Amino acid sequence: MSRKKILVVDADVASRNFIARKLIDQNFEVLQAGSGKEGLIFAWRDHPDLIIVDPLLADLRGEDIAVKLKQDARTTNVPLIALSGDQNHGRAKSCLEAGFNEYIVKSAQAVSNLNDIINRIFGITEEIMKQGGLLIVFLSAKGGTGTSSLCANIAMNISQYQTDARVAVLDLVLPIGSIAPIVGYTGRQNIVTITDLLPADTTPDFFRHELPQMNIWRFNLLAGSPDPESSNQLKVGRIWDVVASVKSAYDYVLIDIGRSLSKITLPLIQHADLVTLIVSTDISTVTLTKTLWDYLKGKGVHTDSIYTILNRAVGLEGLSKTDAESMLEIKIDMAMPYLGTNFAFANSHHQPFSLKFPRDTASIIFQDVAKEMAVRAQKVRSG
């Protein structure tokens, strides 16, 4: 991901330096201005990708700065964020009406809110996501559908199907990752420790050589957060750099988000080559999945990029494939048979299902799913 330039305009030197340090830590190039006039000069001369302004300036009102920036062709499309000590609702309203994209009140949560907004503004672009390996995201509308187990087993079968392909699995299930217990990973490296590193240290070459290899699973793993407390330390601003670097290092990147749909994971879903939607057969899960699917359609996710798996994780009872398709109003691409205790047995032994039970019908289905998904993802990427 190219290095972005951010201009911070704030008369308070301590506040300005504090924000600048936080942004520099995330590998942004930062310009600083102590007045409104100076901020305008820097904005028009240095072409920043984002401008953060404290509207409480001595020489110019923040609203006037926004108007001038939006009226000038050099800065009309540059996102503007107001970072202000004024909590008055009227001030926030006037700033937004003048052209600011966001209004943040200076508080203990200000940096976290600023990071979230910057992620949404810069995020993962279509151009970036079409580079590097194919991205396949796994998600569900409800817990207990076997999403993580399916993700790990399908990743293993993709690697087995394409023996020369490099496959990586990223666990973004929050607040506790779920892939590590399945594959038997007990190391200290995880998504929290990785995002704590400097961007210069998490290059594609780093991920190519430093991600732990799960030998019998045939993929490399970036484990999820080990506990809820650790997840609170996750530097979400680094997620996009990490994903982009991993994609540059691997041919297939499978990301498990489980039911953790959020502003962190939504851009991944929107720009994935394939979105694997896991559904179980109970009515409540299918109903929630329909709500989720309607939401994703509203966010620009196309039917062609959806691969739906009906997983009989809860037993033999429940809706049929035809009934589930009727409720979801989307094709179900594959129905997994009920695996009984075998799936749990394979997981408890940290082994892929198709190695533990090679003659089981489900092992053949896993192979077919892996092939279909690999072909579908490539087709979506190619347009």
Q: Residue 138 maps to which CATH number?
A: 3.40.50.300
Question: What does the mean pLDDT of the chain come to?
Answer: 92
Helices 62-71 and 36-46, axial angle in degrees (round to 10): 20
What's the predicted TM-score (pTM) here?
A: 0.75
Give the C-alpha separation, 224 to 7, whole Å: 33
CB atoms within 10 A of CB 377: 24
Residues 271, 335 share a domain: yes
What letter represents residue 380's amino acid?
V
Q: Which of 92, 107, 122 is the last residue of a domain?
A: 122
Confidence of residue 274 (pLDDT cuts 50, 70, 90): very high
Q: Into how many domains does the chain fold?
A: 2
DSSP per residue over 240-305, as a string? HHHHHHHHHH-SEEEEEEET--STTTHHHHHH-SEEEEEE-SSHHHHHHHHHHHHHHHHTT--GGG
* Confidence check: pLDDT of 314 > 90: no
Residues 208, 157 share a domain: yes
Point out the least confidently predicted range of 51-55, 112-116, 124-128, 168-172: 124-128
What letter represents residue 148's amino acid?
S
The mean pLDDT value for 197-213 works out to 91
Residues 223, 320 share a domain: yes
Q: What is the pLDDT of residue 123?
A: 62
Q: What is the pLDDT of residue 292?
A: 96
Q: Which of 78, 95, 122 is the last residue of a domain?
A: 122
Nearest of 336, 367, 378, 340 to residue 154 by alpha carbon: 367
Residues 104, 143 share a domain: no
- Percent of the chain with pLDDT strictly greater than 70: 96
Nearest of 246, 209, 239 to residue 132 by alpha carbon: 246
- Domain span holding position 162: 126-382
Helices 283-298 and 321-328, axial angle in degrees (round to 10): 40
Residues 375, 255 share a domain: yes
* Confidence check: pLDDT of 32 > 60: yes
Residues 139, 107 share a domain: no
Residues 215, 118 share a domain: no
Residues 241, 106 share a domain: no
| CATH number, residue 15 | 3.40.50.2300
Confidence of residue 59 (pLDDT cuts 50, 70, 90): very high
Confidence of residue 199 (pLDDT cuts 50, 70, 90): confident
Q: What is the pLDDT of residue 341?
A: 87
Confidence of residue 45 (pLDDT cuts 50, 70, 90): very high
pLDDT in tens, 241-260: 899 899 999 999 999 999 98
Q: Which of 122, 141, 174 is the last residue of a domain?
A: 122
